[in-house]
């Protein structure tokens, strides 16, 4: 009577379950009821099928992870939506005005940033989000590989169109890091820190990476694609050997499985709020106090490794544009716009 | 026996004449002969057609603007290739190693920069060129309209992939301006000047505009699409009224029709040479002396109009990264990375 299949192609929503029209309609009715009961009789007449048939479709949905409470004489109500990145359930939960309202969801994609960059060239609106269960060619800064095991993390890209000069692009990475830290706090009660410029860490291990890719003319930024990767339900064995001691996940930290969907909703909400405040003031400064308070880089001896040279110094401050100010041995202060920065710990630089 | 038609679609080479296979082969033979004679007998046996048939195809090509000299008892030789932007004749004339070897030619396109940006995302190699007879949505800085009448100018975009930090992007505009000025000098004996940052002018009128669009990560530029528009054979009436006193063309300056194809070849040659030297030294400084010597901005009172403010001052110097250094009334020096800069003339700022 009804089947659930997973398509395998490279179009959005691939690998999403494909429900029959009746299942889809039942989902819609129950989700719109917002946690209240809907009688079997109502659904039966709405759908033009028997109450027994309604029940059969409910069972199929339960098999897909939906928890639907059924109370005799009252009806059905949605209790738990499974952690499937599905546009319907995401759009239903969004509390943002723009972020995530345009949404592309992939089972597998090369890289959400690559796709979002193309969408940005095609005039996609600000706040458009690309998300995937897994990336076959996920990237971090400087073409480093980003490991993104299927359905175990949140791998997404948001298109921003701030009307600012290109040299201010690094400010957006600061905002994204703050939004991620705040979302992790709201969502999982985690007190994460920021390793300049773009890592969110906990106990020195990487929980999240951020990669901003900008498209600009000399006078103005046309788009910034903000890629955010958060290790959500990865276990230690999900990381390759060389990362096992360097990376962590929410699951590892809290010994608990988290909903990617819920985290996505909270992240987008935090990011939009922070971004809109930034646009309103056209200024990063109001955010720097929080950023500095969470920095594991400031006030430490650091090694700055740029592409052609490296030097050691003391991480003095974050400049008003998000740059790192490092004091060298001779007392001079260097402004670092981008580089790898290792912090000196007890056993050397990490 | 043979027809020449113009296709109208949005694929590359649209509006190019479509020659029959025999005409194409004759063109190839004559062009490869590099200005020397090829006997009718040779062509006849090469093509498997009669010498009379060869003659008929030669007449068709002459009708398309090719000047082919025919000497009884000796044969045919190519004297003049018409000013058609055709991949075969362009590739034949290229003296570059990379620039222009990957080539897309359009009759009409929205904007060569838009197309080149897409190609750059698709991993097109450095030196890829997009060129069009006309642009339906040609743009300058800050979304200003760029007028590009059909076949009267050189509208092209070159993809660059310099392995440099994003903040150095403006240096490439300096290089493109120098390459254009040098090409105009070699090609038309014109002594053009540069109005900071991106206009090539002659007697205060705009001859050429340059628009660099970059795609970058925090640490490195991924691509720069360098759009160059040169007014070649435009007459005064080809400009809209509001530009008639502000813009000029090679034709207006020299009272002579110029070959866009020849100018393209010389421009690419100059640009590649300058760009390669820049990459080798990883430094803009060796080019600044020439740039400054051609600047109409330096040593003048200027008005700097940025997006949110404007001020007057004295254009003191070009910094080593191509930025303009302006001394304000109070003696302080401001470094300008991007802005509109008007130069004070006898009748106010222009």
Contact present, A219 and A165 (Cβ < 8 Å): yes
**CB < 8 Å to A173, chain B:** 218
- Judge if A148 and A274 occupy the same domain: yes
Give the list of residues 6+ apart from residue A76 with CB closer than 8 angstroms, or none.
Answer: A30, A37, A38, A40, A43, A58, A68, A69, A70
- Judge if A121 and A260 occupy the same domain: yes
End-to-end CA distance of chain A: 58
d(C-alpha A14, C-alpha B22), whole Å: 49
Give me B292's structure tokens: 């400054």
Domain hosting residue B130, numbered range: 87-293
CATH code at A335?
2.30.30.100
- Tell me how far CA of residue B323 lies from CA of B105, B168, B339, in angstroms: 34, 10, 10
End-to-end CA distance of chain B: 58
**CB < 8 Å to B216, chain A:** 169, 213-214, 216
CATH code at A277?
3.30.930.10
Residue of B217, B279, B304, B335 to mutate, testing the A interface (most A Cβ within 10 Å of its Cβ): B217
Write down the pLDDT at residue B347: 66
Give the chain A residue nearest B223 (alpha carbons).
A215
Give me B215's structure tokens: 């795609």
Give me B10's structure tokens: 């949005």
- Judge if B173 and B307 occupy the same domain: no
CATH code at B48?
1.10.10.10
Write down the pLDDT at residue A17: 56
> In this complex, which of B118, B121, B141 lies closest to A217 when CB atoms are compared?
B141
Would you place residue B36 in the very low, low, confident or very high pLDDT band (cuts 50, 70, 90)?
Answer: very high
Give the chain B residue nearest A117 (alpha carbons).
B121
Write down the pLDDT at residue A15: 42
Asked whether the predicted pLDDT for residue B3 surpasses 50, the reply is no
d(C-alpha B279, C-alpha B274), whole Å: 9
Closest CA–CA distance from residue A118 to any residue of chain B (Å): 7
- Judge if B273 and B288 occupy the same domain: yes
d(C-alpha A130, C-alpha A159), whole Å: 9
Residue A270: count of CB within 10 angstroms of its CB: 22
Angle, helices B260-281 vs B285-293, to 10°: value is 140
Can you tell me the mean pLDDT for B14-24?
Answer: 69
Give me A49's structure tokens: 């099928």
Residue with tokens 């002018």: B201
Closest CA–CA distance from residue A321 to any residue of chain B (Å): 13
- Judge if B124 and B241 occupy the same domain: yes
> In this complex, which of B141, B165, B218 lies closest to A141 when CB atoms are compared?
B218
- Judge if A265 and A229 occupy the same domain: yes
B249-274 confidence digits (pLDDT tens): 999 999 988 999 999 999 999 999 99
- Is B212 strand, coil or helix? strand
Which pairing describes strands B129-135 and B103-109: parallel, antiparallel, or unpaired? parallel
Secondary structure letter of residue A97 according to DSSP: S
Write down the pLDDT at residue B32: 84
- Judge if A161 and A219 occupy the same domain: yes
CB–CB of B215 and A217 under 8 A?
no
Contact present, A78 and A35 (Cβ < 8 Å): yes
- Tell me how far CA of residue A274 lies from CA of A111, A269, A292, B276, B304, in angstroms: 25, 9, 16, 43, 32
Residue of A218, A310, A339 to mutate, testing the B interface (most B Cβ within 10 Å of its Cβ): A218
A153-203 confidence digits (pLDDT tens): 999 999 999 999 999 999 999 999 999 999 999 999 999 999 998 899 999
- Report pTM: 0.82
Asked whether the predicted pLDDT for residue B240 surpasses 80, the reply is yes
- Judge if A257 and A325 occupy the same domain: no
B152-161, B206-215, B332-341: which has the minimum mean pLDDT?
A: B332-341
Domain boundary (A33, A62, A80) is at A80
B59-89 confidence digits (pLDDT tens): 998 887 788 999 988 999 988 877 778 887 7
Contact present, A98 and A272 (Cβ < 8 Å): yes
Q: List phi, psi (to 5°) of A264.
A: -60, -45
Which pairing describes strands A205-216 and A199-202: parallel, antiparallel, or unpaired? antiparallel
How many separate domains does chain B show? 3
Nearest to A41 by CA among A29, A32, A51: A51
- Judge if A315 and A267 occupy the same domain: no
- Judge if B73 and B91 occupy the same domain: no
Burial (CB < 10 A; 0-12, 13-18, 19+), residue A297, is: buried
Asked whether the predicted pLDDT for residue A10 surpasses 50, the reply is no
Question: How many CA within 13 A on the CB side of residue B160?
Answer: 31
Can you tell me the mean pLDDT for A114-125?
Answer: 96
């Amino acid at each position: 009577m009804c089947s659930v299949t997973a398509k395998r192609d490279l179009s959005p929503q691939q690998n999403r379950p494909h429900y029959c029209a009746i299942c889809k309609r039942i989902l819609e009715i129950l989700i719109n009821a917002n946690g209240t009961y809907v009688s079997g009789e109502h659904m039966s007449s709405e759908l033009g099928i028997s109450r027994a048939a309604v029940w059969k479709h409910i069972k199929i949905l339960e098999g897909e992870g939906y928890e639907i409470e059924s109370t005799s004489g009252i009806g059905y109500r949605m209790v738990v939506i499974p952690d499937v990145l599905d546009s319907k359930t995401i759009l239903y939960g969004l509390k943002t005005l723009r972020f995530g309202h345009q949404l592309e969801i992939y089972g597998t994609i090369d890289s959400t940033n690559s796709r979002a960059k193309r969408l940005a060239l095609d005039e996609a609106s600000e706040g458009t989000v690309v998300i995937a269960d897994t990336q076959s060619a996920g990237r971090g800064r400087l073409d480093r590989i980003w490991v993104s095991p299927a359905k175990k993390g949140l791998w997404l890209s948001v298109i921003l169109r701030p009307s600012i000069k290109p040299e201010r692009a690094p400010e957006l990475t600061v905002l994204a890091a703050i939004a991620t830290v705040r979302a992790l706090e709201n969502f999982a009660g985690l007190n994460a820190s920021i390793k300049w410029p773009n890592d969110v860490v906990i106990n020195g291990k990487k929980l999240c990476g951020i990669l901003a890719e900008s498209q600009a003319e000399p006078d103005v930024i046309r788009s910034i694609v903000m890629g955010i990767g958060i290790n959500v339900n990865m276990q230690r064995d999900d990381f390759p050997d060389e990362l096992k001691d360097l990376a962590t996940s929410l699951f590892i930290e809290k010994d608990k499985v988290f909903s990617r969907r819920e985290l996505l909703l909270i992240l987008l909400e935090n990011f939009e709020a922070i971004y809109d405040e930034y646009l309103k003031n056209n200024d990063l400064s109001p955010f720097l106090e929080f950023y500095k308070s969470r920095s594991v880089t400031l006030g430490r001896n650091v090694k700055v490794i740029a592409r052609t040279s490296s030097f050691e110094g003391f991480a003095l401050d974050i400049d008003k544009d998000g740059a790192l100010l490092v004091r060298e041995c001779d007392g001079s202060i260097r402004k670092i716009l981008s580089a790898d920065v290792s912090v000196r710990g007890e056993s050397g630089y990490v």
